[in-house]
A and B are shown apart, each in its own frame.
Chain A
Amino acid sequence: MSVLSRLREKPWLAQPAGMDPALQRARRRWPEHTALMFMLAISTVLFFLFTITFLGRTQLPDFQPLAGMPWQPLTNSVMLWLNTLWLALSGLAMQLSLRQSRRLHKKVGPWLVLATLLVGFFLAGQWLVWQQLLAQGYGLRTNPANSYFYLFTAVHGVHVMAGVIALLRVWWHSRRQPLKLSRSLQLCTTYWHFLLLLWLVLFALLTRSADTYNTLAAMCGF
């Protein structure tokens, strides 16, 4: 039943025979899935709002993008591409571990170790990018573009670390309740894919030239 038809119900009338919801069996419930969907919505709103302020800030005169011209540090973004690869591979490993967990007598351990290692590479890679930027004189406060780069990558990094903690917890609990593993892993995998998608958007956003920002900002009415 769609939401609209649900909202059109007239609960004060007697229910027609056979239709009384009290007589119907309650459906199988899975609260964790609902909670995760809400969490992803909240994170999306959070990053959306950061992005809107970013686009607004690009239109103020002191904003100098980090990419676009040959001398700007993110014009050549090999390191960031490499990090993207780690995150994508980690998502793949998660997907494989999920597939394993759905089969009987298959071990998921190696895939989970691999996924965690790869995500560790991603975080370490981001850290290296920070160090490179700092070494080149692009500090947190020298320009708002830099401030936003550190801010976005840090908030994304916190999301990644939260995912790792959740995964380790799932893994730990799976030793006692192996049957719930695949359900929990499905949620983790969804989250992993969300992290990748989020990163791709941020990556694209942070390495644009001034012209692109001007166009985007104009579309948003800034």
Chain B
Amino acid sequence: MSHIAVTDQPDESKHPHSFITKYIWSQDHKVIAIQYAITAIFVGLVALLLSALMRLQLGFPDRFSFIDPSAYLQFVTMHGMIMVIYLLTALLLGGFGNYLIPLMIGARDMVFPYLNMLSYWTYLLSVVLLLASFFVVGGPTGAGWTLYPPQAILPGTPGADGGIVLMLLSLAIFIVAFTMGGLNYVTTILQARSKGMTLMRMPLTIWGIFIATILGLLAFPALLVSAIMMLLDKVAGTSFFMPALLSLGEQLDYSGGSPILFQHLFWFFGHPEVYIVALPAFGMVSDVLATHARKNIFGYRMMVWAIVAIGGLSFVVWAHHMYVSGMNPYFGFFFATTTLIIAVPTALKVYNWVLTLWRGNIHLTTPMLFAIGFIFTFVHGGLTGLFLGNVVVDLPLSDTYFVVAHFHMVMGVSPIMVLFAAIYHWFPKATGRFLHEGWGKFHFWATFLGTYAVYLPMHYLGFLGVPRRYFAMAGTDFIPESAQTLNASITVSAIIVGVVQLVFIVNLIWSVRHGKAAGNNPWQATTLEWQTEHTPPGHGNWGKTVPVVYRWAYDYSVPGVKEDFIPQNVPNEQLQFTDKQRYEESQQ
């Protein structure tokens, strides 16, 4: 078990030397993080392209002959699944989790570096399998990202032969990859913190990633269970979820299974998944806001409690996705209540972000713009969530564009705003160079305004009753023709937002070599990752000695202290004061 040595002591002989051990089969958490990030962003771009194709059909129906109803459904399904699992989960936890955990808690690496490497390569295998489904006979599955049986595995649904099997296999493999990574994240956070880094001194980023990982470890098994059982239904002909039914005029061999059982399992995973994505984003945005507003995060303890409470509550709200499945009305009442309760800690976080900005010394850098943009999109998406959480409001709006607009605002746009904020914020640490600020600001405004141009009208379409997932409208007299004009406008906006992301990608590639040099701590931040000896940090992160932590992560603008930030590894004896008495009063 030689890996422990790397985490405990700076043993020079353990550093990799060849290109292959350094960049390909690397066990360094920073390299693995970048591998995760590049793979996730690549597969995310594929999903972005799919969304553009499906918008083309919706905006300009029948204009593009290569988009038939089957292809449309396949685009919808793959877009959703890739974005939720293979982009957001992988980038937030595999990418940022890997990069930031050891650096922020003062460790030399993850506690199990080999397992970490295995986690990435298993993730890559799951991505390859997923993308392979585009090339099998019948194409990828078109069952919708929720993969509800019985239709997901029956003939007539696109990709019901190879596509769905590859999808289920890919999901199962992804879960194995996530479990290996997740075990590493939680163990590292619990056992490898440097001296003085108590739990309540950890930056909120780490709290968010920590609780999200626990959610993932306990929720992904539900998806694994449903994937295994559905795979058996498809391949071995069992009837776990499949009821007795006629398909294309023939009686099938299935009998007696319960499709609703699948829905329960799926959403027992699916709802915590929302928070698996949201909690790391909550954490990272807190750190970006505090750093760029030069102010301590407002209500740190409450922020931690809220993260923990949201994590716990997220396991008892799942059936609010199933109000129209014919469940007992008392269940609906229960789940509506828990859904409204979970809004309390979430709203508390929003208030605290806003109060962090209040009277702060706000620097409108690109990461800060994205972080503030997130507060807008998240409040917006969160409030529509309160509408949908109520059974009576949900029933008429279920499966309309209102739902599409809601979840894109709350778990599409919002976490992605944070991801952009985080990339602009931590890119200087990972590469030693800034991303181009001018392009970054253009990227922000085009994305921020563009997403509103896309999703605000969708709420209205939902009120009109436009159903989601439909390839084309026919015989729907209750929907005015102007809805089509709105759809065309959404499509044009969406394509513009999509193209603007290419500016970001070009910025990313260009800045690796040509960006402005950043130095060790360009944002004058307090957290440990900015206090490394080298930027980007070398293998083992910390040179000869690991840092000792003397304070919490948010000592910005401390009264009476000369600098407006005190890094976590600076002891009181080294502080320079302008007014020592004022400082001492502030510490009582």
Contacts and interface: CB of A to CB of B under 8 A. Distances in A.
Q: Is B a genuine binding partner of A?
A: yes
A34 to B, nearest CB: 5
B210 to A, nearest CB: 12
A13 B200 CA distance: 12
Contacts of A10: 301
B5 to A, nearest CB: 11
Given A7-B199, A11-B198, 13 more contacts: A7-B301, A8-B301, A10-B301, A11-B200, A12-B296, A12-B552, A12-B555, A21-B198, A31-B112, A31-B187, A34-B190, A38-B186, A140-B236
B196 A20 contact: yes
Contacts of B572: 14
Interface in B545-574: 548-552, 554-555, 571-572
A62 B255 contact: yes
A201 interface: no
A21 B257 CA distance: 57
Contact of B550 (A20, A32, A42, A63): A20
Contact of B237 (A20, A34, A141, A155): A141
Interface of A: 6-14, 20-26, 29-32, 34-35, 38-39, 41-42, 45-46, 49-50, 53, 56-57, 60-63, 140-141, 144, 147, 151, 155, 173, 177, 180, 184
Interface stretch (B118-126, B222-230, B373-381, B512-520): B222-230
B232 interface: yes
Given A11-B198, A14-B572, A30-B191, A22 B549 contact: yes
A34 B229 contact: no
Contact of A53 (B229, B239, B300, B301): B229
Nearest to A183: B1
Contacts of B256: 60-63, 144
B183 A144 contact: no
B239 A141 contact: yes
A11 B183 contact: no
Given A35-B183, A38-B187, A60 B257 contact: yes
Contact of A144 (B197, B225, B239, B304): B239
Interface of B: 1, 4, 111-112, 179, 183-184, 186-188, 190-192, 194-201, 217-218, 221-222, 224-225, 228-229, 232, 236-240, 253, 255-258, 261, 265, 268, 296, 300-301, 304-305, 308, 548-552, 554-555, 571-572, 587-588
Contact of A31 (B192, B228, B237): B192
B300 A42 contact: no
A31 B236 CA distance: 40
A49 B258 contact: no
Q: B1, B548, B552 — which one has the most chain A CB atoms within 10 A of its CB?
A: B1
Contact of B221 (A35, A49, A56): A49
A180 to B, nearest CB: 6
Contact of B200 (A7, A23, A53): A7
Contact of A9 (B183, B198, B255, B571): B198
Contact of B199 (A6, A38, A41): A6
Contacts, number: 136
Nearest to B551: A11
B453 to A, nearest CB: 41
29 contacts: A7-B199, A7-B305, A9-B301, A11-B300, A13-B587, A21-B198, A21-B549, A22-B195, A22-B571, A26-B194, A30-B191, A31-B187, A34-B187, A34-B191, A35-B184, A35-B187, A42-B179, A42-B217, A45-B218, A53-B225, A53-B229, A53-B265, A57-B258, A57-B261, A60-B258, A62-B239, A144-B238, A144-B239, A147-B238
A16 to B, nearest CB: 11
Contact of A45 (B194, B221, B304): B221
Contacts of A7: 199-200, 301, 304-305, 308
A56 B265 CA distance: 12
Closest 10 CB pairs of A and B: A22-B196, A62-B256, A11-B552, A31-B111, A14-B587, A147-B238, A46-B221, A9-B200, A31-B191, A141-B237
Given A38-B187, A45-B221, A141-B237, A26 B200 contact: no
A21 to B, nearest CB: 5
B571 A57 contact: no
B240 A53 contact: yes
A46 B219 CA distance: 9
A152 to B, nearest CB: 11
A32 B111 CA distance: 9
A27 to B, nearest CB: 10
A29 B224 CA distance: 32
Nearest to A34: B187
Q: A10, A22, A29, A151 — which one has the most chain B CB atoms within 10 A of its CB?
A: A22
Contacts of B198: 6, 9, 11, 21
Nearest to A49: B225
Q: A6, A53, A63 — which one has the most chain B CB atoms within 10 A of its CB?
A: A53
A35 B1 contact: no
B217 A38 contact: yes
A184 B4 CA distance: 14
A141 B4 CA distance: 47
A76 to B, nearest CB: 25
Contacts of B221: 42, 45-46, 49
A8 B111 CA distance: 28
Contacts of A26: 194-195
Nearest to B196: A22
A8 B302 CA distance: 10
A66 to B, nearest CB: 15
A165 to B, nearest CB: 14
A140 B257 CA distance: 14
A9 B301 CA distance: 8
Contacts of B196: 20-23
B173 to A, nearest CB: 14
Contacts of A184: 1
Q: A7, A49, A151 — which one has the most chain B CB atoms within 10 A of its CB?
A: A49
A168 to B, nearest CB: 15
A28 B179 CA distance: 25
A12 B303 CA distance: 14
Contact of A147 (B186, B240, B300): B240
Given A22-B196, A31-B187, A57 B549 contact: no
